[in-house]
Amino acid sequence: MKRQLALIGYALGALSRRRGRSAAVTAGLALVVGLFGSVLFLGDALRAEVEAGARYLPDLSVQRLVAGRPALVPTDVVGAVRGIPGVRSVNARVWGYLYVPPISANITILGATGREATLHAAMVAGRSLRAGERGACVLGAALAEAIGVEPGDEVSLSSDVGGSDATVHWLRIVGVFHDASALRTADVLITSDADARNLLGVDAGLATDLAVSLTTPDEARVASEKIALLVAGARIVDKQLLRRTYALTLDGRGGLLSAMLLPALAALLLLAWDRLTGLSEAERREIGVLKAIGWEVSEVLTARLWESLLVALGGATLGVLGAYAYVFLAQAPGLAGALYGWSALYPPLRLTPQVDAAQALALIVGVALPFVAVGLVPAWRAATLDPDHALRGGA
């Protein structure tokens, strides 16, 4: 142990003597690891966002299409759908978008039918909606901030019916809620089912979609087939399929980006090989002195390996930390577009830090190991130099 510490001490000294070269190689490694790490971290964060979103999705969402366009679903099928074996519950949801002129934006109106009323989100202020409470609403934190309201205030919303039927509805704000992912709740206004119907112009007996919860996801295929027979023009979205599609898309894009970065890693290793094989005159003399004062081949070899390892670990760690800062503090400018696709998101997606420890470690080891391996042959060549030749300056 003491011997190894001494060798590490020597290796650090040697690195500090060749400060310029060490810094350049470390920076190169940090850059490559940083690029790889950014892709991995961004992919992980996006996957976590998808998972967090999917947790609140119903097992099956039953929508209806008429002439290829979304249409309302008649709620008289709810009883029949509930009777399908394996169906735990059916929730006829009323939701939709409402344009609010003062903030020049669409907000999402959601009719509360029970369990989803609080969206499992934390209330920032006020309380959540009571069952069947009329004339009241809870808002997403971002929306409340945009209109500049707080619990106790009232908002007036013009219903979406249009023409002379348009009426103004007053809703008292009873609470403001917040979720770890702003994407899901930023522009949401939850009110009672009846108020949502009035605002959106959805008649009784119709719903935007049916949220079907199953006792076991294995039954999704059979239940979907049965629902398709009950609801004319049904389009059934299976949560498992949706998750798999997202995972495949993100993995595919992340993999493509990583593959594009491989040449950068190869180039760096080649450069490192080139740098490490050519011993400078000073290094040759140094090794000559060490051998002359009695260092063994194994000791010189170990010291050289420690040098590579220190540079590799230092560079890789710097890279991982840099990638973390780039993705989660700076929100990955430039790279994000490649993974998100091309559509701009509203509201801006704030990524929640999400790091797979095993992946970060694998990245560090995956770059550090080849780097150390590349240094092995030059280290052996240096360690077996004849001290007499080395000191005299011969080969």
User: What is the C-alpha separation between 44 and 328, in angstroms, rounded?
Assistant: 11
Q: How far is the CB of 227 from another protein (least distance, A)?
A: 13
Residue 13 or 233: which CB sits closer to another protein?
13
Q: How far is the CB of 7 from another protein (least distance, A)?
A: 13
Contact 147, 102 (CB under 8 A): yes
User: What is the C-alpha separation between 386 and 351, in angstroms, rounded?
Assistant: 57
Place of tokens 């979205």: 237
Strand spans (E) along 21-113: 60-66, 69-71, 73-74, 87-93, 95-100, 105-112
Residue 8 or 71: which CB sits closer to another protein?
8
Q: How far is the CB of 6 from another protein (least distance, A)?
A: 12
Residue 86 or 347: which CB sits closer to another protein?
86
User: What is the C-alpha separation between 60 and 223, in angstroms, rounded?
Assistant: 9
Residues forming the site for another protein (CB under 8 A): 8-9, 12-13, 15-16, 19, 85-86, 215-216, 218-219, 222, 310, 313-314, 317, 356-358, 360-361, 364
Residue 222 or 232: which CB sits closer to another protein?
222
Q: How far is the CB of 107 from another protein (least distance, A)?
A: 37
Residue 20 or 263: which CB sits closer to another protein?
20
Residue 14 or 71: which CB sits closer to another protein?
14
| φ, ψ at 122 (rounded to 5°) | -85, 135
Cα 301–chain centre separation = 43
Residue 168 or 358: which CB sits closer to another protein?
358
User: What is the C-alpha separation between 265 and 223, in angstroms, rounded?
Assistant: 49
Q: How far is the CB of 316 from another protein (least distance, A)?
A: 9
237-252 per-residue burial string, b: 16 or more CB within 10 A, e: under 16? ebbeeebeebeeebee
Residue 283 or 356: which CB sits closer to another protein?
356
Strand spans (E) along 85-153: 87-93, 95-100, 105-112, 122-126, 136-140
Contact 277, 379 (CB under 8 A): no
Q: How far is the CB of 361 from another protein (least distance, A)?
A: 6
Q: How far is the CB of 330 from another protein (least distance, A)?
A: 21
| φ, ψ at 160 (rounded to 5°) | -85, 5
Could you tell me which of 216, 210, 217 has the C-alpha nearest to residue 242? Answer: 217
Q: How far is the CB of 307 from another protein (least distance, A)?
A: 11
Cα four-point dihedral sign 278, 283, 285, 287:
negative
